[in-house]
Amino acid sequence: SPGSRQVVDHMIKSGEMAYLIEAGARILENACGPCIGMGLAPKTDAVTLRTFNRNFLGRTGTQSAQAYLVSPETAAVSAIHGKITDPRSFGKLPEIRMPEKFMVNDNMIIPPKPNNESIEIVRGPNIKPLPEFNPLPDKLEGEVLLKVEDDITTDHIMPAGAKILPLRSNIPEISKFVFNLVDPTYPDRSLEKQGGFIVGGENYGQGSSREHAAIAPKYLGLKAVIVKSFARIALANMVNFGIVPLTFTNKEDYSKIEQGDKFNIDLTTLETGNVLLKNLTKGIDINLTHSLSETEIEVLKAGGKLPFIKQKHS
């Protein structure tokens, strides 16, 4: 699965493609393929070695298979040997040299017109414009729509695969699959309640830096995520789409919250780094904090990165 058309061109002209084909390798389209479960799905209960960072549950296209991340050298030697093998046991590794010059094939790039406003955007039936999000209010009110444990991945939030990938440019449709692996009722409940909150444990949003894991929940009305800790890129994506990322000042407070609890969160003190959450169902106050910069707070208040940029240039 070459990374780009340019890589394919280089491999053909350098002769490297012939070596792979003669060795029995299957060459797939240079696109999102095996990493999202499309192409070369392993057998049931099998083990597969991958050289790219996609080893989440079911990502190979086979729910019961296990995927291990390895170096290209380990993958190549293991494929030849038929089992997981240390490449150093095959002797000295060949010297890998970078090409003197990388090929550039940009003949499919359509340059912009001088006056962008005169361009008509033609969208197919499965392509919808991004929803516009409103500025952040001073207070957030709503219900805990979902409470999750530690290490929730972006695949848990926004599943991947052949069924969902074609909807990547259709936010209303792809949003119907949010948290499908955790609670299939979440999208309908979120729309019915006009949004609400998610409460989670450690490392929320780990894994692939998939912006749909922020866009789709936001479309369904997600207002804030309150957790013990965030994965870095997931936090940045939430800010970019106007979802408030908050953490417990005292992580033990996680156990005081249940799904269905009603919250009132005062955001007027967001700049101070301290935010008060009132759990109206339990009748208790919970202190929250965040790691947001001044700019990130400005982006959140604008409703996300796109409205923030529009404000800057209007």
Average pLDDT, the chain: 91
**pLDDT value, residue 217:** 97
pLDDT at 33 over 90: no
**pLDDT value, residue 117:** 67
**pLDDT value, residue 116:** 65
Domains and CATH numbers, the chain: 5-90 (3.30.499.10), 139-313 (3.20.19.10)
More confident residue, 266 or 5: 266
For the segment 231-242, the average pLDDT, to the nearest whole number, is 95
- Residues pairing with 143 in the sheet: 196, 262
**pLDDT value, residue 107:** 84
Residue 287 pLDDT level (bands cut at 50, 70, 90): very high
- Of the chain, the percentage scoring pLDDT greater than 90 comes to 64
Contacts of 18 (CB under 8 A, 6+ apart): none
More confident residue, 250 or 117: 250
DSSP states along the chain: --SSHHHHHHHHHHTHHHHHHHTTPPPPPSSS-GGGT-SSPPPTT-EEEESSS--STTTTS-TT-EEEE--HHHHHHHHHHTS---GGGGSSPPPP---SS-----TT--PPPS-GGGPPPP--TT--PPPP-PPPPSEEEEEEEEE--S--BHHHHS--STTTGGGTT-HHHHGGGTTTTT-TTHHHHHHHTT-EEEE--SSBTBSS--THHHHHHHHTTEEEEEES-B-HHHHHHHHHTT-EEEEESSGGGGGG--TT-EEEEE-TTGGGTEEEEEETTTTEEEEEE----HHHHHHHHHTSHHHHHHHHH-
Among the ranges given (34-48, 221-235, 299-313), the one the predictor scored with the smallest mean pLDDT: 34-48
- Of the chain, the percentage scoring pLDDT greater than 70 comes to 99
CB 117: neighbour CB atoms within 10 A? Answer: 5
User: How does pLDDT run across 155-199, given as a tens digit for each residue?
Assistant: 899 987 778 888 999 999 999 999 998 999 999 999 999 999 999
